[in-house]
C-alpha cells in the first residue's frame, strides 16, 4: 500500500517522533488469531491517539518521578 508517506528508516530521535510521523499515513498494524485471521487492524493514527490518552491519564495521577 502506498500512502504517499516516504519511508524513513531509524532516523527518528524518539519513539514519539516516529509514531507522530507514522500517524500521518494510512499504515498500521494487523493483529492475527492463531488461525491467521485478522482480529484487529490498528492504524498508526489510532495508536497515536491511544498513546496520548494513556499519557494524559498517567499525568493526571500526579505521580512523582521514580514512583512505582
Domain ranges of the chain: 15-60
Q: What is the pLDDT of residue 1?
A: 65
Determine which helix (DSSP H) or strand (DSSP E) holds 55, and give its type and residue range. Answer: helix 44-60
Query: What percentage of the chain exceeds 90 in pLDDT?
Result: 82
**Average pLDDT, integer, range 20-35:** 96
Give the whole-angstrom CA distance, residue 48 versus residue 18.
10
pLDDT above 80 for 3: no
Could you count the other beta carbons within 10 Å of the beta carbon of residue 47?
Answer: 15
Distances (CA, A) of 42 to 17, 25, 26, 28, 39: 18, 12, 10, 5, 10
pTM across the whole model: 0.81
Q: What is the pLDDT of residue 21?
A: 97
**Average pLDDT, integer, range 39-66:** 96
Amino acid at each position: 500500500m502506498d500512502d504517499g508517506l516516504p519511508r524513513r528508516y531509524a532516523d527518528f530521535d524518539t519513539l514519539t517522533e516516529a509514531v507522530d510521523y507514522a500517524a500521518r499515513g494510512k499504515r498500521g498494524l494487523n493483529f492475527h488469531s492463531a488461525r491467521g485471521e485478522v482480529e484487529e487492524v490498528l492504524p498508526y493514527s489510532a495508536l497515536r491517539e491511544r498513546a496520548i490518552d494513556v499519557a494524559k491519564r498517567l499525568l493526571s495521577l500526579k505521580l512523582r518521578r521514580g514512583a512505582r
